[in-house]
Amino acid sequence: MKNTSAALTVSKAALILGGLSVVSRLAGIVRDRLLAHSFGASSTLDAYYAAFRLPDLIFQTMVLGALASAFIPVFVRLRQQDEVVAQRLGQTLLTGIGSGLTIMAALGVWLAPELVALYTPGFDAERMSLAVSLTRIMLVATVVFGISNVVSSVLQAQQRFVAFGLAPVVYNCGIIAGVYLLVPYLGTQGLAWGVVLGSLLHLVVQLPSAWRSGFRLRLCWKFGDPAVRQVARLMAPRTIGLAASQLNQLVTAGFVSHLTVGSLAAFTLATNLQSFPISVVGVSLAVAAFPIFSESLGNGSPDTFAVHFRSSMRRILFFVLPLAVLFLVLRAQIVRVVLGSGAFDWGDTIRTAQVLGFLALALVSDSLVPLVARAFYALQDTRTPVRVALISIAVNIAALLLFRSAGLAGVGIAYALSSLCNLCLLLVLLERRLPRLDAHEILLGLRPMLAASVLSGAAAYATLQLVAPLVDMRSFLGILLQGGAAGLVGVSCYLTLVLFWRVDEVAFVRSWLSSALRTSRRLMASP
């Protein structure tokens, strides 16, 4: 009975996070379309996306992932014993991370010209100057994001997912407001100030829920506390891994900077499109399952953990396998419909779609890695994912060198190979740690999903060919109709096959939908 209750908790949490992630990603699509429409895959967007690299290096190394993976298991354990001690741990980390980020951001502002030049060696003087200017402004957002993500981790640990899920939505709204409201007055610097606005909204929207949970934004300097030292020990290897991952992205950016103008913008836009299903499905289920993983292993129940892990993994595969195939088949239609307007011309569409095709091959592995990595974090093992990440980074760099003659396509190939390597190694090592995972059961469920996905992709491709002569392929409406018809046929084919083959995850989807309907009715009935 307890296992069923926990499974329902994960399902409801994943439903909340998935729904809010859809809203966030839709806002992200509006953001990217607006940027593409206004600037195209141009030198301006190259500089804009390059400006994120240094703030992301500082933020993700010190905060994102490292904080949540180390903090949540310790916070959950402390909270079961003493609520006050747990909240004090959060306040101490808030103080340390806020102070550290402020110092790092100040150094980044000072050294921005030298640092930006290191990872964009192919930029000309104009793009370099703009990237430096935007970087300095975005570093302000890094400090705000650090504080906000401490609050996010507290909310995740207490399974308060609504405010946590809303935060990325309002962040994207801030960037959209920057394009609409700030760029006309501040020029291209308005893009960076939009990021700062988004980070402030990201924090503010979470504060009421944090306040209700008992968490207060207070300075606390108890860095000698045993719990703080434990979090620091767990964060250290993960921090190294994230730093290596960010350096890997800088190497990729440096490689792309030598290609034609607009290549970095095209690669980033393709990555953003690919991240939609990863965030909605993979990350949502991983985040929702993590507290349950931690509780199961903390209570000495590896069998319970194995049940939740297998079910979460199969649910992710149920959604992302067909999406990966459809992204591959419909890549040109997706790019043109989502981004193709204004300054974003057909040349930009072709370059972005080419990269998206290779990124689609990595969609499954990218969606599963967050879940598998959190299994290690629940074991309080942050070293193994780091070692595996370092190996996959080496694979990416080697592939970049091997396929450098392929240009932007070579970057996509390298990314897909490194992502697949990351997932395979993590799964092998996790099963060695926990033989009760029973990977055989996962593979049995994979076969009908994979067959249905391939057949749905074939049906979608056939529909593309049939519809093309019937519509004007030079117009937005024609491409929308062609892609929409093919996507509808592909999804219908997949659903028909999984229903016919009685795939277990169909029942899970039905429970999700019924839960969503009940929640909607309660909201509509409330005064």
Q: What is the pLDDT of residues 137-166, one digit of tens each?
A: 999 999 998 889 888 888 877 777 788 888
Q: What is the pLDDT of residues 249-307, one digit of tens each?
A: 888 888 888 888 889 999 999 999 998 888 878 887 887 777 788 778 777 778 888 88
The 3-state secondary structure of 446-497, one letter per residue: HHHHHHHHHHHHHHHHHHHHHHHHHCCCCCHHHHHHHHHHHHHHHHHHHHHH
CA nearest 226: which of 379, 81, 103? 81
Q: Model confidence at 8, in pLDDT bands (50, 70, 90)?
A: very low
Domain membership of residue 387 (yes or no) is yes
Same domain, 52 and 21: no
Low-confidence winner among 30-44, 160-174, 231-245, 403-417 (lowest mean pLDDT): 231-245
Specify whether 405 is located in the same domain as 313: yes
pLDDT of residue 132: 95
Among 324, 341, 240, 304, which residue's Cα sits nearest to residue 38?
A: 341
pLDDT, position 439: 66
Biggest alpha carbon distance in the chain? 71
Q: Are residues 156 and 227 in the same domain?
A: yes
Q: What pLDDT is recorded for position 527? A: 45
Domain count, the chain: 2
487: in domain:
no
Q: pLDDT at position 130, please?
A: 94
CB atoms within 10 A of CB 474: 8
Q: What is the pLDDT of residue 14?
A: 59
Domain match, 230 and 288 both: no
Q: Which of 111, 86, 117, 422 is nearest to 230 (CA)?
A: 86
Residue 68 lies in a domain: yes
Asked whether residue 97 falls in the same domain as residue 235, the answer is yes
Out of 84-98, 229-243, 409-423, 487-501, least confident range: 229-243
Mean residue pLDDT of the chain comes to 84
Q: Is residue 393 part of a domain?
A: yes
pLDDT of residue 454: 96
The confidence band for 102, taking pLDDT boundaries of 50, 70 and 90, is very high
47, 26: one domain: no
Q: Is residue 501 part of a domain?
A: no
Q: State yes or no: pLDDT of 83 exceeds 50.
A: yes
Per-residue model confidence (pLDDT) at position 66: 56
| Other CB atoms within 10 A of residue 158 CB | 21
Residue 47 inside a domain? The answer is yes
Q: What is the pTM of this model?
A: 0.82
Is 20 a member of any domain? yes
User: Which of 445, 468, 493 is the C-terminal boundary of a domain?
Assistant: 445
Q: How confident is the model at residue 37 (pLDDT cuts 50, 70, 90)?
A: confident
Whether residue 55 is found in the same domain as residue 186: yes
Determine the pLDDT at residue 456.
Answer: 97
The answer on 395 and 277 residing in a single domain is: yes
For residue 521, pLDDT over 60 is answered with: no
Residues 24 and 73 in one domain: no
Domain presence at residue 508? no
Q: What's the number of CA atoms in the CB half-sphere (13 Å) around residue 212?
A: 10
Q: Which residue type sits at 237?
A: P
**Domain end position, chosen among 241, 258, 275:** 258
* H or E element that contains 87: helix 83-119
Backbone φ/ψ region at 300: left (φ over 0), alpha (ψ -120 to 50), beta: left
Domain region containing 50 = 43-258
Mean pLDDT of 25-29: 85
At which of 388, 421, 445 does a domain end?
445
Does one domain contain both 120 and 65? yes
Are 196 and 224 part of one and the same domain?
yes
478: confidence class by pLDDT, cuts 50, 70, 90: very high
- Indicate whether 77 and 211 sit together in one domain: yes
Q: What is the pLDDT of residue 177?
A: 92
